[in-house]
Structure 1
Amino acid sequence: MDFKLLYKFFEGFATEEEETAIKQWLADSTENEKRFLEERRLFDAILLNTEVSVVEQNGVNTAFNISSRRSTYLFQFLKIAAIVTITLLGSWFYFTQINKPNRFIANQVISVPAGQRLNLTLSDGTNVWLNAKTRIEYPVSFNDKERLVILDGQAYFDVAKDKDAPFRVKTKDGIVEALGTKFDVLAYSDNLQFETVLMEGRVKVNVTEDPSQILILTPNNKALLRNGKLQAEFVDDFSAYQWKEGLISFKNEPFYQIMKSFEKVYDVKVVIENPKISNLIYTGKFRIIDGVDYALRVLQKDVKFVYNRDTERHIIYIK
């Protein structure tokens, strides 16, 4: 089997004839099935030009060596700028059983660690950006009635249009439904904040614990949960949602909330020992690549505080 053809299939560019050839190759032996799964793991885990990727599966780290004959080809395809831990439950189960009436469609889970971001394309063509410390679960292939993903964290969705199969994002606090649109969902399970911002199209938002609470959003509006009540607000500035471009933007946000953002994007813990500055309001914008020290020094120009770093424990103390 030409491994370039497999990667073409993983990217969703294989023709019908090529998919048939891969299916026949898989049916020839269980060894081919194992090889297919191994190549899929490599495809999902490789970090651009690295020679070894590590996939964490069932709590065990497994290293996969990437031969030079395939790493160049993978480099051309993958645009992943994140260290991603992936639990792959077996995409080949779906492909090999595609003609069976009760086929099992495997789910894939991707977790993005602090300090990283990830861009991926789902099987229906939907483009997704995942922010730091975000977990998403989705089927290797969607069915023809519903496109459901489960999100813990923050993600931006550019949804492929399919009027017969609504696209749904399920979170701890709410469900967002769209047919074809662009929107941002903020729903970290360790945070009380749930928010959906609509850039294009139309979405429906309801509350997980109270499905009767429903909002239909139009562009430049957001839905947010306050004290258990779903509310709508107009959005006139989308700069706060530029995280996928590598920016931290905030407008009239308290200092402690900005520090929570720093914790995610810089993979540190921030301890505010000076309560007087916790609720001070800031407006600003930083490039993530400039680093946390630069961001803190800029903030120090408006408010006098000092900070110390425990580099071994990745903790910043603000006094």
Structure 2
Amino acid sequence: MNQELLYKYFKGTASIDEEKQILDWVEASDANREAFLKERMMFDISLFSEKQEAEEKKTARLIPMLRWTARIAAAVIVAVAGYFMTTDYLYSKDAQLQTITVPAGQRAQITLADGTRVWLNSKSTLTYAANFGRKERNVQLDGEAYFEVAKNKQIPFYVNTEMNKVRVVGTCFNVCAYNDSKEFETTLIEGIVDIYPSRSNQVITRLQKDEFFANYDGRYKKTVLPSYEYLRWKEGLYCFDDVPFSCIVDKLEKYYNVKITVNSAKLLNHGGFTGKFREQDGIEHILKTISKDHPFSYSINEAKDSIFIYEK
């Protein structure tokens, strides 16, 4: 793929036809997708270098995630309090916290002070101490995130959530744990992770490569992941494999920042929904496609921020 065209896409100046050309190329193979992400990383690094000269004492590199549509641009709210990551100051238990919040319908990528890369999904919040990486590497997650943790055998990396916590040294994994959902899911891509209850140091289980662990309101589930497709949310690709309609509704509300009301418990519990959609397809296209094979209809209000779903 032509680098000049890719940079037009990253800058948001590519035409609709050029965007389609790039997206088709990315989906054609894993090698293309890897090349795309490497080019994106280099582009973001160059942007950060320029911004660093103009801005003073930022606590984290906040990189807009892949720009799949003009409507959903990366607009991450960063609440920053405290000191610059590389400033020489003493470690303190009372260090001020840094909070990164991604609004509904958007995604973001950040790099922490230790080199760990984090992709944050829609409606997710990541919190960590201003002196992160000095003597501890702890983050608090409300939402979904994909981590590529920098190796450091002396300082383990902890992801703390409402229900469980994950301990790693250097590995790649996904965590989905929205507060108040009573659900916790971890998928290990590479390395080893240990899973604990949120307020205990007693290990529940250890995950090996390609294993999946879930805690659904106290009910544990562990299995081998058949596919990484559902983790492609960080690329703007939404994949569903034989899931109940309630899961579809929950995801679409987060991804598109809409309120969805379903008037039938039967519909919510209806299973067998499978499909793969691009973010740019839009929620109307997704619902229209699914409704061809399943018994529901829908209406969208004029402001397009509320959807009512009902049985046919």
1:285 CA drift (Å):
1.1
Indicate the structure (1 or 2) with the bigger Cα radius of gyration.
Answer: 1
3-state SS in 1 of match to 2:296: coil
1:299 CA drift (Å):
0.6
3-state SS in 2 of match to 1:256: helix
The change in CA–CA distance for 1:228 and 1:104 in structure 2 (over 3 A counts) is closer
Check the 8 A contact 1:123/1:140 in 2, yes or no: no
Are 1:108 and 2:108 matched, yes or no? no
Query: Residue 203 of structure 1 corresponds to which residue in structure 2?
Result: 193
Are 1:267 and 2:231 matched, yes or no? no
The change in CA–CA distance for 1:165 and 1:296 in structure 2 (over 3 A counts) is same
3-state SS in 2 of match to 1:278: helix
Following superposition of structure 1 onto structure 2, how do residues 102-251 of structure 1 map, counting pairs within 5 Å? 105-209=95-199, 211-251=201-241
Query: Residue 301 of structure 2 corresponds to which residue in structure 1?
Result: 310
The change in CA–CA distance for 1:252 and 1:100 in structure 2 (over 3 A counts) is closer
3-state SS in 1 of match to 2:122: coil
Check the 8 A contact 1:221/1:234 in 2, yes or no: yes
Query: Residue 27 of structure 1 corresponds to which residue in structure 2?
Result: none
Check the 8 A contact 1:114/1:266 in 2, yes or no: yes
3-state SS in 1 of match to 2:183: coil
Query: Residue 63 of structure 1 corresponds to which residue in structure 2?
Result: none
Query: Residue 292 of structure 2 corresponds to which residue in structure 1?
Result: 301
Q: Which amino acid aligns with 2:56?
A: F
1:255 CA drift (Å):
0.7
Check the 8 A contact 2:239/2:277 in 1, yes or no: yes
1:89 to 81, 93, 106: 81
1:224 CA drift (Å):
1.1
1:191 CA drift (Å):
0.8
Check the 8 A contact 1:161/1:181 in 2, yes or no: yes
1:274 CA drift (Å):
3.2
3-state SS in 1 of match to 2:287: helix
The change in CA–CA distance for 1:279 and 1:229 in structure 2 (over 3 A counts) is closer
3-state SS in 2 of match to 1:36: coil
Query: Residue 286 of structure 1 corresponds to which residue in structure 2?
Result: 277
Q: Which amino acid aligns with 2:237?
A: L
Query: Residue 76 of structure 1 corresponds to which residue in structure 2?
Result: none
Are 1:36 and 2:36 matched, yes or no? no
The change in CA–CA distance for 1:229 and 1:207 in structure 2 (over 3 A counts) is farther
Query: Residue 258 of structure 1 corresponds to which residue in structure 2?
Result: 248
Q: Deviations over 1:153-191 (max 9, x none)?
A: 000001111111101100000110111100000100031
Q: Which amino acid aligns with 1:91?
A: Y
Over 4 Å off, 4+ runs? 41-49, 99-105
Unaligned runs of 5+ in 2: 1-47
1:127 CA drift (Å):
0.7
Root mean square deviation of aligned Cα: 3.3
The change in CA–CA distance for 1:190 and 1:82 in structure 2 (over 3 A counts) is farther
Give me the whole-angstrom Cα distance separating, in 2, the residues matched to 1:102 and 1:210: 23
1:229 CA drift (Å):
4.4
Give me the whole-angstrom Cα distance separating, in 2, the residues matched to 1:313 and 1:236: 36
TM-score, normalisation: structure 2 = 0.74
3-state SS in 1 of match to 2:269: coil
Greater Cα shift, 165-174 or 208-217: 208-217
Q: Which amino acid aligns with 1:251?
A: D
Check the 8 A contact 2:59/2:130 in 1, yes or no: no
TM-score, normalisation: structure 1 = 0.73
The change in CA–CA distance for 1:195 and 1:43 in structure 2 (over 3 A counts) is closer
Give me the whole-angstrom Cα distance separating, in 2, the residues matched to 1:113 and 1:243: 15
Check the 8 A contact 1:144/1:164 in 2, yes or no: no
Q: Which amino acid aligns with 1:295?
A: I
1:133 CA drift (Å):
0.3
1:210 CA drift (Å):
5.0
Give me the whole-angstrom Cα distance separating, in 2, the residues matched to 1:45 and 1:219: 28
Q: Deviations over 1:218-240 (max 9, x none)?
A: 01111111442444211111111
The change in CA–CA distance for 1:87 and 1:216 in structure 2 (over 3 A counts) is same
The change in CA–CA distance for 1:209 and 1:91 in structure 2 (over 3 A counts) is closer
